Amino acid sequence: MKKSKKIWTLLIILVLLGLGGGGYYFYTLKKAPEKKAQDPNALPDRIYRVRRDAMILGVTLTGSVNAKRKHKLAMEAPFATKLIKVVDENTHVKKGQVVAEYETYDLNLRIEDLRVLLDNRKKDLEIAEEELEILKSSNEADIRTATDSVISAEDAYNKYWRLEGPRDKDNQRMNVSDAQTAMEEAEDAMKEAQTNFRNTTYSTAEEEEKALTTVNSAVQKYENAVTNYNSKLLERKIFRRYTHPNQLKNLRNALIQAKLNLTKVKVRTQSSLLQKEKQVHQIKTQIRNYDRDLRRHESYLPMMKLIAPVDGIVIYGDPDRRWGNPEVKVGMDARRKQVIITIPDMSQLIVDVNLPEQYRSKVSVGNKVIITPDSIPTIKENGRITNIASLPVTLIPWDKNSPKIYQTKVEFTGNTRDERVVSGMSVQVEVVSKILPNVLFVPIEAVFEEAGNLIVYLKTDDGPEKRVVKIGEANNNYVQILEGLVEDDEVYLYRPFQGAGK
């Protein structure tokens, strides 16, 4: 029972496989004519129908579409912060739209700190300027007092030197002279009294005693006059040797001290004034620095938002940077001039091409090109090479042994451009160095070398036939046929005697 059940199951599976295979066979028969109708030159069994047409000579290169003008958005503020908001890549944005924002908390704190510091220093400046004015007034009073002391000392010195000193000298001289005169008069009086006493005869003892008393009085007066005279001489001597010179010296020293004190006061007041002015200048400098820093940091605030300058599509990073574009995401550390968003101008597109070193001699500025997007091969755009770098660079910057390439620019030349061609698209660039009009050509894989001859395998009713051909110009895909084939001949794209798959 179980064995019969297994047999029935196997028969059902075989029937289903047969039905499926038959359906697939009829489906392929139905689709084959459609493919043939779409491309008349694409024949079954890898056969190519020879045609006469314009043949383009040149080289085929790879490139990428790029905007001629790109608006690169980066934070301009030299302030360490983080990215807190960014629009999604490939988003259509409008001019004036905020596309990215940076953290401003630390920046606002710094601005507030600078404002407080600036206000405090302005108050310090007011106090310092008031102290400076008070110091100036005090210094002027001190200088004026010291100057008055100098004037007083100078007046006292000049007064004694010119008036009091000479007057005291005269007084001393007159005192000596008067004392000398008094002494001489006393001497004369004494001599006269003595002569009169000797020459007079007294009648009584009382008269003689009285006359003697007069003589003694005259002698005493003379002795006093002599003493007074000697005293005046001594006083004059002391005045000349000590009193007058010492007084002049004291007055001169007082004048010198007053002048030194005036100089000292001037130096002290000037020093204190300079220190206070320096303090005021330092505060003003700090105010200028704080004000400059405040205005600079306030100017950073608008920079913390990136605004779209034009309508366009957002691309993350810098497409012109060959290596090392950062990963753009919320929370990333941001630095100045770091491009995080690029908005290409789609109205003016170019193609960036890396021209291999071996093709440099075959390509020139001004050559026409045909641009074909890899993703949409049905689009064909015309272009022209506008610039080829003067010097080659390595394809991989850090690898000196990598192939050398010339960075090349291609511009679109058509009046209109397919809207499906956008920045970032990979394209094939066929450089048109020469066009051969109305010639026969076949794919390169249809031509083989045998015994020193170039041959093709021609399809005939009797089977494949070898045909010797003569070729002309060639490009990366096709070769010109000068002799051996005519239009509409069909040739194999492989050696048919070695099997269809070889």
pLDDT at 196: 87
Predicted confidence pLDDT, tens digits, the chain (502 residues): 444 444 444 444 444 444 444 443 333 333 333 333 334 444 456 899 998 988 888 788 899 988 888 899 999 998 889 999 999 998 999 999 999 999 999 999 999 999 999 999 999 999 999 999 999 999 999 999 999 999 999 999 999 899 988 998 899 899 999 999 999 998 998 888 889 888 888 788 888 888 889 889 989 999 999 999 999 899 989 988 998 899 999 999 999 999 999 999 999 999 999 999 999 999 999 999 999 999 999 999 999 999 999 888 898 988 877 677 788 999 999 889 899 999 988 888 899 999 999 888 888 898 889 999 999 988 989 999 999 999 999 888 788 888 999 999 999 987 788 888 888 889 999 888 788 899 999 999 999 998 889 999 999 988 899 999 999 988 878 899 999 999 999 999 998 875 443 3
Beta bridge partners of 92: 313
Distances (CA, A) of 398 to 6, 26, 63, 322, 389: 67, 57, 21, 11, 19
- CATH number for the domain whose boundaries are 107-302: 1.10.287
Gap between the Cα atoms of 74 and 309, Å rounded: 12
The counts of H helices and E strands in the chain are 5, 26
Gap between the Cα atoms of 467 and 498, Å rounded: 17
Q: What is the 3-state secondary structure (H, E, C) of 160-187?
A: HHHHHHHHHHHHHHHHHHHHHHHHHHHH
Name the CATH architecture for the domain at 38-56+437-502.
Answer: Beta Barrel (2.40)
- Write the Ramachandran bin of 158: left for phi over 0, alpha for psi from -120 to 50, otherwise beta: alpha
* pTM (2 d.p.): 0.55
CA atoms within 13 A on the CB side of 371: 30
**Residue whose C-alpha is closest to residue 428's, from 70, 120, 142, 64:** 64
Gap between the Cα atoms of 424 and 319, Å rounded: 8
Beta bridge partners of 435: 56
The alpha-helical segments, DSSP class H, found in 39-104 are: none
Gap between the Cα atoms of 490 and 227, Å rounded: 171
Gap between the Cα atoms of 115 and 291, Å rounded: 8
Taking a C-beta distance cutoff of 8 angstroms, is the pair 73, 342 a contact?
yes
The alpha-helical segments, DSSP class H, found in 98-204 are: 105-159, 165-199
Gap between the Cα atoms of 432 and 475, Å rounded: 10
Beta bridge partners of 428: 62, 372
Contacts 24+ apart (CB under 8 A), 101-105: 101/304, 101/305, 101/306, 102/75, 102/77, 102/304, 102/305, 102/334, 103/304, 104/301, 104/304
Start-end ranges of CATH 1.10.287 in the chain?
A: 107-302
For 24, the 3-state DSSP assignment is helix
Gap between the Cα atoms of 330 and 81, Å rounded: 12
Q: How many CB atoms lie within 10 A of CB 355?
A: 23
Start-end ranges of CATH 2.40.420.20 in the chain?
A: 38-56+437-502
pLDDT at 9: 46
Gap between the Cα atoms of 266 and 147, Å rounded: 10
Gap between the Cα atoms of 187 and 179, Å rounded: 12
Q: What digits encode the pLDDT tens for the residues 16-64? A: 444 444 443 333 333 333 333 334 444 456 899 998 988 888 788 899 9
Gap between the Cα atoms of 454 and 471, Å rounded: 8
Taking a C-beta distance cutoff of 8 angstroms, is the pair 445, 57 a contact?
no
- Residue 438: which residues within 8 A CB-CB, separation 6 or more? 52, 53, 54
Q: What digits encode the pLDDT tens for the residues 313-342? A: 898 988 877 677 788 999 999 889 899 999
Measure CA 488 to chain center.
70
Distances (CA, A) of 316 to 91, 102, 340, 354: 10, 16, 6, 23
